[in-house]
Amino acid sequence: MFARPWLLLLLVLPLLHLCWVWQRRGRRVVLPFDTAADGRPRGSGRFVRAVLGVGESLPALLLAVAVLLLSLPQELAAPRQKRALTNIQFLVDISGSMTAKFGSGSRYDASMQAINEFLDYRQGDSFGLTFFGNNYLHWVPLTSDPSAFRCSIPFMRPENAPPAFGGTEIGKAVLGAREVLTSRVEGDRMLILVTDGMSGDIMNGADLEIAKRLKRDGITLFAVNITDGQAPGEIVNMTRLTGGEVFSPGDTKALAEVFQRIDQMTKAKLEQGSAELVDWFAPFCIAGLAVLGLYGLVQLGLRYTPW
């Protein structure tokens, strides 16, 4: 198909030229040396006439190729697969208990290091970061630039957090992160909660209500319980009802494996794109260069002369 099909009407010009080359009756000039030794006329022969006609037809073929190129020939390209976007919001606890020792540093240090490593597994996704205690603060908006995370580590350490962040209110923080994820229309939605505590705002059935809202919005909740004990049942309920899981790593190595496990459980999807029209110049360019080269050879001597 062609993007400018109306230009194909110009193909009548090379057609008229071909008709003129092959139908004309002129160029019958007889000179003395056109006769044989016995005085009879020497004919040119049909073969020579055909070869000369082909040579004179080449400019018309070049014009036809030029018209086809100006008409912008196109073809349907094979559908491409693209990586489906996943919006991942990290919800990191910065209450006072996150300063407790974990590995060579604190629970906060180990959590942020594991998150930074997780970002390398998920190139092409969008990431957001929310810190929480008694309140929550959306620190990094959803972005595909992971450097924003790496620059945020020193600024919201539990030691530097305002007094309003000293406690833990998980339910409030989860619902706040939910608003960030639901603002994105495109892509899947994932929430990763990193905490070492329990809060009263997810008790007495509140955990089930929160889980229902997350599931209705298509948000999968994963939780990392970064303590020595088992995760609270309310957190377990919220994660599993949304299709996620809760993990309780005992050391920094296990913490890194947790994020690898999350990556494996939520492998990026590939979306089948639709076929698109692309320019299809190659065969016409090859044909035009071939005709042009042949015409150049013809001009070296294979042409009609009346003498």
**pLDDT tens-place string over residues 25-38:** 655 555 554 455 55
**pLDDT tens-place string over residues 69-93:** 888 888 877 656 555 678 889 999 9
Q: How far apart are CA 192 and CA 236, in angstroms?
A: 13
**pLDDT tens-place string over residues 152-172:** 777 788 888 888 788 889 999
User: How much is the pLDDT for 214?
Assistant: 94
**pLDDT tens-place string over residues 93-112:** 998 889 899 888 899 988 88
Domain annotation for the chain: domains and CATH numbers: 5-77+275-298 (no CATH), 82-271 (3.40.50.410)
**Taking a C-beta distance cutoff of 8 angstroms, is the pair 90, 128 a contact?**
yes
Among 218, 207, 199, smallest CA distance to 93 is for 199
Token pair 């994932």 is at which residue? 190
| Helix, strand, or coil (residue 15) | helix
Instruction: Determine how β-strand 81-83 pairs with β-strand 74-76.
Output: unpaired
Q: Which two tokens stand for residue 222?
A: 């994963």
**Taking a C-beta distance cutoff of 8 angstroms, is the pair 221, 215 a contact?**
no
What does pLDDT average to over the chain?
Answer: 81
| Model pTM score | 0.61
Q: How far apart are CA 8 and CA 66, in angstroms?
A: 10
State which of 43-57, 133-147, 255-269 shows the largest mean pLDDT.
Answer: 133-147
- Name the more confident of 290 and 44: 290
User: How much is the pLDDT for 293?
Assistant: 87
CA-to-CA dists, residue 101 to 109, 229, 252, 260, angstroms: 9, 15, 11, 23
Q: Which residues lie across from 81 on neighbouring strands?
A: 272
Task: Give the distance, in angstroms, between the CA of residue 46 and the centroid of all CA atoms in the same chain.
Answer: 61
User: How much is the pLDDT for 307?
Assistant: 45
| Helix, strand, or coil (residue 301) | coil
